[in-house]
Amino acid sequence: MYHRFWSYLVYLYGLVAQTIWRCEEPAKMSAGGLNTAEYFGSWYFIAAAGEGASDLQMFKPMDNTLFDLQGANIPERLVLLGAIKVGNHCIKRSWVYYIHRHRDDLELEGRPLMKVYIFESDCKDCIIMMETQDEGEHRFKRMMLYARNATLSSEHIEHFQKKAACVGMKEFMVLPQEKEYCLIDPHS
């Protein structure tokens, strides 16, 4: 009886807390069930959030970043090309992601400890990705907002920041996007 009373009390506290503090976590999408072709093409890196400043440290030198997501010769594999503007230099990178039918996360080639999750955004032409690594030397948890256009309304950016805060990510940054974007040759 005593245990049941406490269960109800905790349940009621949760309901009241949800009503008072409207915190809506982003909706996770299962990578294994995605229509990947819908996401092919160009994406601009707009903003990032993390649990701590160290989670975002790698993004601080960036002015802007343009990505191109492509399918690969092998089904269940995606290739992401990136052109990162740091200072006056363009840094070209590529990543290979594997999709497993019965998993929610994407597997990044060469990074077995890292999990990559995809979330819906309130913006029709946006997507949110979360990278986490709970093991190993470098632990982190961060979310990134990507959009089909380089410019995004402050309302959409604030919405992303609130969603990230709901999952404990209080550090936040928006890429400056003050310099010209580096170009990507999607067929390279």
Where along the chain do its domains lie? 25-174
pLDDT tens by residue, 93-119:
999 999 988 889 999 999 988 999 999
pLDDT, residue 186, reads 60
Percent of the chain with pLDDT over 90: 63
CA geometry: angle 41, 97, 66, nearest 5 deg: 35
Three-class secondary structure of residue 172 per DSSP = strand
pLDDT at 123 over 80: yes
pLDDT at 16: 45
* pLDDT, mean of residues 41-48: 96
For the domain with range 25-174, which CATH number is right: 2.70.98.10, 1.10.1040.10, 2.40.128.20, 2.170.120.12?
Answer: 2.40.128.20
Are the C-beta atoms of residues 10 and 16 closer than 8 Å to each other? Answer: no
N-term to C-term CA, the chain: 67
